[in-house]
């Protein structure tokens, strides 16, 4: 009964099965195989545009590599203070970019605002050699707060960015979860809204180690092949990375998985919303819930065998709950029942 | 009938099956799972010593990360001119080390010599700020020439290195192939001979993307966790990396695979040795053969559907042939038959 | 009548004269000369401790190099949001450190607070590979607000830093100005208060291009020689860098210059304090004044030929005024008279 | 009597005097001053072309910065094995480029050959992600062997480079010495021959710390301002860097100094050529002589108080002798007399 993260879930059986299917005979290495070609084609179809597609095995690599292609060593990447790239990647973007700067721009519900972004760019000193130079913006979709930027929000942010020639990267580790929530299309939620490069996540949504970096403008991808190799991210037996993504995209598995994970989050969120003393911090739009609970309730849940993280750290009485493509609804219901039981116990106990 | 590389082979069925077995239930991410613990323990047992073990998905990452832990940005890594780290990794070691220098030290049969290494170190200017500082030596085992350093050769090179406080890294992308050729033990071929850190390859020998960086001195591994994460090499669903290595080590699969691949190379090498006009360049000790053939024979083989690389480039009449854990002996025999046929045809044709 | 910066002032005549004196005969290059030895000895005497001293030509180089010696590529440097290292060096620390992160910790009057620093360290996730690791703290003395940390403030911050094994760097571009304000000794204001490495500025206080990086613990300086050379900061004709610093330290020239610059700032600050409508933002402790003035007064001053910067940017009605070792008191008085005239004109004009 | 290097000479009196002249009044910092403008204009005039000019204080910085503008992190810089950039800069180019590779191309008399360069480029694997990518060529003029590339040699090398889209950098630490030897013009020896960017040295020829990076195509200089600042190479009181270069160019001082240094080298070389048992290694074209002498003669010279370096290291009986703009002809004659005396003594002594 693990709600720690969508990465504690395993892989989808269809994705594992695809590996076996891909294991038939010899295949040329480093992406010069048919399966990789097929994935590249599929991604372009899904996004209704010719895309340059690069598969890698982790979200951190996908973010760092994509940012390095659009941010010089003296560049600034603007992002939300809670963004994975600035909080949880041990400086990977700084490493891959060659020493760039990540500048945090605060905003509600895990989102940058156009006004906040514009102000941050204005304050940065574009064109002056003394200051690191605004180069790119990273939007996390779904956000680290479990919310989703609307297409309009993306467009407005991209407009602010492009006005000053900044490129727009989307960290789509939970891209599918946001997409099905919005009921949007991949194209609308990305390049049509101004996104220049996307990290299209698979690992949190049924794959075990597969992310696609998708450039909507091939010119921006010119350095990517060298950067990927040099980062040690180019698999020799690439077909096994491609096989994951191929199965992920086959018959809408990625959308089905995301819809399911989101539905489990909704179920959990709705239950918690009814719980006295529980306070849900952000709209539950993707597959994450942040809820503040009485300390004794948290301890009770832990004692009952539920696993989750306190947020942002162990001193907090807010917990983060994450659902996945294979979350057992009985675990959700058991969590709610346990929480309810502990809440009642608290209410009944003398102060 | 593909002899291009051991990375055109797929994965061993037992290794794929292990993924499915590992997919049972939730597991904590980033290596905090039982399977990863088990692999770490197994590696320590195999090497008869407490080791710090770090799994990554590519050989390039394993090399670059291990070198970065023992080489400062102003350091020199000495290696053979044909070493993968200097020829085939697009500068990954330079990137991960923060701008270090790879200095080539020539030697026969793909091997560094103690005298050559000592001379290179002496010429480097240790202690003088004007010069990049000798920091480490990288030995490729098996070498890029398909040969294997003997334990004595390793010891002598390590002695030269340690005398001047250089650390010794072993690029063991084909570690198993060298080991079974020598009939040595993992411990004898590494730390007992003076190796400080090993990249223990799985991907070329039955895994699809699994390498272990093995530090024989935990103190040298202090930075590795941060470097791996920062390089985007830390899988969230680490159990799927660990599962590969676990199955790889189970019941000596890694040794069985290597023995088989080597035996196929021997079979191929012995056949070629009997072929008039064929010249084998290096002793066939692991799973690679470098053979010079008449141009028309090469063209004939290609026309017959055999795939392989000319070496070092397309202008050469030397070809590199690589066997793998699953090379079909009928392909080997067919290759020899085809070669023989084309050699005869050449001999019969008027000049 | 230029109050833009202490770097619009030229060099002190004694420092230029010292170059000529140093130009007598041949001298061994790269710091292997007597003058460099003498400066190293003098610095150690002034700081009452054996110091490792490295001369460089810019404050940015001094900061970036000193931070790189105490901050790994995955490290965090904590500093004030207004610190020169994060605002005005185009990412030099990130470059020299190999991709480290500068994390801003807000505080009044340009100063970090112990509580703020402790909270920032606590939030950073020490020991967890996902997060960049707290490594160092940079204190600017005098601060970018023209104030000076007291010895007690430095000690308390250093205690917080050392408790978690962070090193303490002091950006002493205006070290002398702070020192004479406090009436402290170099030793008390640095290593006795917990500073590990100091950039001891000369360029803003009478030299034309001379800064000394001073390590109070030689062990921390082990990499510095290589880093300086590699950064292109090691002068071949080093005696001309040493000559500047030698003259700077001779007969207390550095203290005399700083006292004078501070006295000019006080004179200017006291005059402005009496001016209706002028608001001085921070205590005037060193040689900088930040004052908010009516827009028309600013325009009037500019029209009268005074030069200065609006702060933090051109949209502001706060101006920064900086005095130097050679500020003409008549310029100060003329500035005050001009300001007073424009203030009166504003008051007299109909709204 | 120091023949160690042209950097043991001090500065030319006119250049020191120029500092004093430049010290009159306030000047805007960071190159926004008249003197810097004037130097930029003068350089463009001398090179008969609009140039982008950037002043820095060391040759290492000039080389590393210029190479970084034309070489990506995964790029290869081809250079002679004896080039300063690969032997004597502690990896500065690798650092500034972000981890590029320097590949040595051997050649007689310190010079690359077109055939050697072409072969090296061909072997490098352009366009393949596995290999670092050929990006630039660095020519040292005068070479580290004290010879000078002719205009034709430069053109031929630049043609080879440009054919494969590599940029051509010239390390002109001793640019003036080569120029006056050839009797060429600055334009003919650089951009008209295909040089894209030059480091125009002043420090070895009368300045004390002044080098100009000269881009003949402004587009290639787009990043330079940021890189220079970020490298800590942008002086705040830039006028004192500009003043050196201004005086250096005034009334042909740079050419006069170089002619003089060369003439002293010729005098020394002609004397040594007559000495029995002395063997001069390379044509004496600039201001360096490499001469092999009997060990006892070397020891005798040292005992007589002459200073010089054995080359390439202390085990060698080849010595390098360097003359400068202010070499005393009596020192040259004394050196020759001492050498002759010791040669005779050797000849006279019983074996």
Q: What are A297-341's pLDDT values in tens digits?
A: 999 999 999 999 999 988 899 999 999 999 999 999 999 999 999
Q: Are D114 and D160 in contact (CB under 8 A)?
A: yes
For residue B60, what pLDDT is reported? 98
Judged by a CB distance cut-off of 8 A, whether residue B58 touches chain A is yes
Judged by a CB distance cut-off of 8 A, whether residue C97 touches chain A is yes
Task: Classify burial at B221, counting beta carbons within 10 Å of its beta carbon; exposed 0-12, middle 13-18, buried 19 or more.
Answer: buried
For residue B347, what pLDDT is reported? 81
- pLDDT at residue D350 tops 70: no
Q: Coil, strand or helix: which one is C136? A: strand
Runs of H (alpha helix) within D190-328: 224-230, 239-249, 253-273, 295-303
Distance between start and end Cα atoms, chain D: 31
- pLDDT at residue C261 tops 70: yes
Q: Are B43 and B198 in contact (CB under 8 A)?
A: no
The number of angstroms, rounded, from the C-alpha of C131 to the middle of its chain's C-alpha atoms is 30
Nearest CA in chain D to B87: D131
Interface of A with C in 302-331 (CB under 8 A): 312-313
For residue A351, what pLDDT is reported? 58
Smallest Cβ distance to C129: which of B73, B133, B234?
B234
Smallest Cβ distance to D88: which of B90, B100, B130?
B130
* Type and span of the H or E element at D55: strand D52-56
Smallest Cβ distance to A130: which of C74, C90, C101?
C90
Mean pLDDT, rounded, of chain D: 97
Taking residue A218's Cβ as centre, other Cβ atoms within 10 Å add up to 11
Q: Coil, strand or helix: which one is C289? A: strand
Q: What is the mean pLDDT of residues D296-303?
A: 97
Mean pLDDT, rounded, of chain C: 97
The torsion angles phi and psi of B55, rounded to 5 degrees, stand at -90, 135
Task: Classify burial at D160, counting beta carbons within 10 Å of its beta carbon; exposed 0-12, middle 13-18, buried 19 or more.
Answer: buried
Q: What is the mean pLDDT of residues D148-177?
A: 98
Q: What are D43-97's pLDDT values in tens digits?
A: 999 999 999 999 999 999 999 999 999 999 999 999 999 999 999 999 999 999 9
d(CA D64, CA D93): 4
Encode B72-127 in three state secondary structure.
CCCEEEEECCCCHHHHCCCCHHHHHHCCCEEEECCCHHHCCCHHHHHHHHHCCCCC
Judged by a CB distance cut-off of 8 A, whether residue A85 touches chain B is no
The torsion angles phi and psi of A219, rounded to 5 degrees, stand at -60, -35
d(CA C147, CA C181): 9
Largest CA distance in chain B: 71
Judged by a CB distance cut-off of 8 A, whether residue B125 touches chain C is no
d(CA C117, CA C331): 40
For residue D231, what pLDDT is reported? 98
For residue B348, what pLDDT is reported? 83
Q: Coil, strand or helix: which one is A189? A: helix
- pLDDT at residue A347 tops 90: no
> What is the distance in angstroms between the Cα of C221 and the nearest Cα belonging to chain B?
13
For residue D351, what pLDDT is reported? 58
d(CA C104, CA C92): 16
Q: What are D86-137's pLDDT values in tens digits?
A: 999 999 999 999 999 999 999 999 999 999 999 999 999 999 999 999 999 9
Which residues, listed in sequence order, are joined to residue D215 by a DSSP beta bridge? D52, D197
**Report field, pTM of the whole predicted structure over 0.95:** yes
d(CA B197, CA B190): 8
CB–CB of C94 and A101 under 8 A? yes
For residue B72, what pLDDT is reported? 98
Q: Are D338 and D299 in contact (CB under 8 A)?
A: no
For C17-65, give the DSSP string. Answer: HHHHHHTSS---STT-SHHHHHHHHHHHHHTTS--EEEEES-HHHHHHH
CB–CB of A226 and D72 under 8 A? yes
Q: Are C268 and C336 in contact (CB under 8 A)?
A: yes
Smallest Cβ distance to D237: which of C65, C208, C230?
C208
CB–CB of D74 and A98 under 8 A? no
A297 against C349, higher pLDDT: A297
- pLDDT at residue A228 tops 90: yes
Tracing tokens 């950037």 back to the chain, one arrives at D54
Mean pLDDT, rounded, of chain A: 97
The number of angstroms, rounded, from the C-alpha of B266 to the middle of its chain's C-alpha atoms is 18
Handedness of CA D68, D69, D72, D75 (dihedral sign): negative
- pLDDT at residue A43 tops 70: yes
Beta strands in chain B (DSSP E): 52-56, 75-79, 101-104, 133-140, 167-172, 197-201, 211-215, 279-280, 288-292, 309-310, 318-322
Contacts of D312 in chain B (CB under 8 A): 123
> What is the distance in angstroms between the Cα of A152 and the nearest Cα belonging to chain B?
31
> What is the distance in angstroms between the Cα of A56 and the nearest Cα belonging to chain D?
15
CB–CB of B95 and D99 under 8 A? yes
CB–CB of B99 and D89 under 8 A? no
Q: Are B206 and B253 in contact (CB under 8 A)?
A: yes
For residue C349, what pLDDT is reported? 77
* Exposure of A102 in the CB half-sphere (CA atoms within 13 A): 33
Smallest Cβ distance to D91: which of B95, B101, B312?
B101
Nearest CA in chain B to A93: B230
Contacts of C130 in chain B (CB under 8 A): 30, 229
For residue C350, what pLDDT is reported? 67
CB–CB of A123 and C312 under 8 A? yes
- pLDDT at residue C211 tops 80: yes
Interface of A with B in 27-46 (CB under 8 A): 27-29
Handedness of CA C32, C36, C40, C41 (dihedral sign): positive
- pLDDT at residue B4 tops 90: yes
Q: Coil, strand or helix: which one is D230? A: helix
Our CA dihedral for A278, A284, A287, A293, rounded to 10 degrees, sits at -10
Taking residue A102's Cβ as centre, other Cβ atoms within 10 Å add up to 25
Q: What are C83-113's pLDDT values in tens digits?
A: 999 999 999 999 999 999 999 999 999 999 9
Smallest Cβ distance to B133: which of C129, C226, C234?
C226
- pLDDT at residue B351 tops 70: no
């Amino acid at each position: 009964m693990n709600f720690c993260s969508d990465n504690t879930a395993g892989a989808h059986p269809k994705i594992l099965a695809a590996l076996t299917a891909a294991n038939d005979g010899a295949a040329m290495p480093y992406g010069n195989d048919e399966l990789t070609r097929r994935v590249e084609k599929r991604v372009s179809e899904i996004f209704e545009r010719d895309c340059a597609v690069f598969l890698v095995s982790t979200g951190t690599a996908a973010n760092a590599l994509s940012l390095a292609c659009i941010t010089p060593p003296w560049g600034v990447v603007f992002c939300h203070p809670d963004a994975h790239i600035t909080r949880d990647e041990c400086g990977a973007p700084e490493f891959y970019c060659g020493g760039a700067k990540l500048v945090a721009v605060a905003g509600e519900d895990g989102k940058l605002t156009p006004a906040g972004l514009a102000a941050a760019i204005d304050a940065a000193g574009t064109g002056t050699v003394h200051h690191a130079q605004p180069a790119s913006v990273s939007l996390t979709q779904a956000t680290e707060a479990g919310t989703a930027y609307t297409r309009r929000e993306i467009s407005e942010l991209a407009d602010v960015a492009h006005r000053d020639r900044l490129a727009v990267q989307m960290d789509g580790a939970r891209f599918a979860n946001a997409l099905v929530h919005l009921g949007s299309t991949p194209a609308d939620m990305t390049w049509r809204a101004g996104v220049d490069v996307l990290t299209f996540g698979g690992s949190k949504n049924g794959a075990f180690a597969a992310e696609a970096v998708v450039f909507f403008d091939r010119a921006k991808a010119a350095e990517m092949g060298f950067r990927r190799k040099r980062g040690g991210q180019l698999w020799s037996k690439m077909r096994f990375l491609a096989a994951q993504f191929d199965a992920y995209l086959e018959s809408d598995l990625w959308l089905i998985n995301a819809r399911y994970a989101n539905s489990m989050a909704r179920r959990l969120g709705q239950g918690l919303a009814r719980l006295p003393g529980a306070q849900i911090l952000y709209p539950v739009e993707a597959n994450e819930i942040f809820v503040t609970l009485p300390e004794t309730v948290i301890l009770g849940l832990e004692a009952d065998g539920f696993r989750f993280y306190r947020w942002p750290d162990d001193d907090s009485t807010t917990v983060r709950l994450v659902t996945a493509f294979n979350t057992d609804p009985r675990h959700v219901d058991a969590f709610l029942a346990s929480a309810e039981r502990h809440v009642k116990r608290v209410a009944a106990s003398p102060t």
